[in-house]
Structure 1
Amino acid sequence: MSHQTECETMLPCPFCGGPPCAVVMNETTSRAVRDEDWGEDGVLFISAHVFCHECGARGEAFQEPIALPPELPVLKERAAKAWNDRNARHLGLYVASVRGA
């Protein structure tokens, strides 16, 4: 999934309508995955999630060992699908947390 396709297929934030962003992190280094991260064994422990740039809402995180860079889009797609499958029932939790802050 390309970045452009990703942004076009992800729904706006269900809470504030802000733009979503998919993030893929190397869990060992706690930073974005880089080409040089793929070591000799070729396996990285990766997490992927989507968050809103406006309010910071975060979707479910998916974590798993990835053996090859071409497997990264699959994990990002899972995170994007989870983001898109959210529904209005979560809105009440968000509103309560904002009011309580």
Structure 2
Amino acid sequence: MVLDTLGAETLTNSPHLLAPDGRVVSIVDTAQPQNLLAAWNVNASYHFLFTRPSAERMEKLGRLVDRGLLRPVVGAVLPLTQVAEAHLILEGRSDTPRPRGKLVLNVAD
């Protein structure tokens, strides 16, 4: 999966990074047409989510987080050195069962 937060060439280059049936998720509105022909070879799917920036909404979300009313469910934390295992877990190809909640990679250690 590729999460595009930059736009422009990211959409065009993303298929080269994907495994077959990979996904590209973009949160960036791009005014320029993009050549996505390379996505055909890997059967990639594209998902677009466009939002408008809103300081008011961010402040509301921040208050919910501060009050403990909005929390992600973390099912497992793995060190970055186990990123391959994390992929296997998420794909259901590991002896480790898929956790309920988010699988987080710890990049600080």
TM-score calculated relative to the size of structure 1: 0.25
Greater relative contact order (Cα 8 A, min sep 6): structure 1 or 2?
A: 1
TM-score calculated relative to the size of structure 2: 0.24
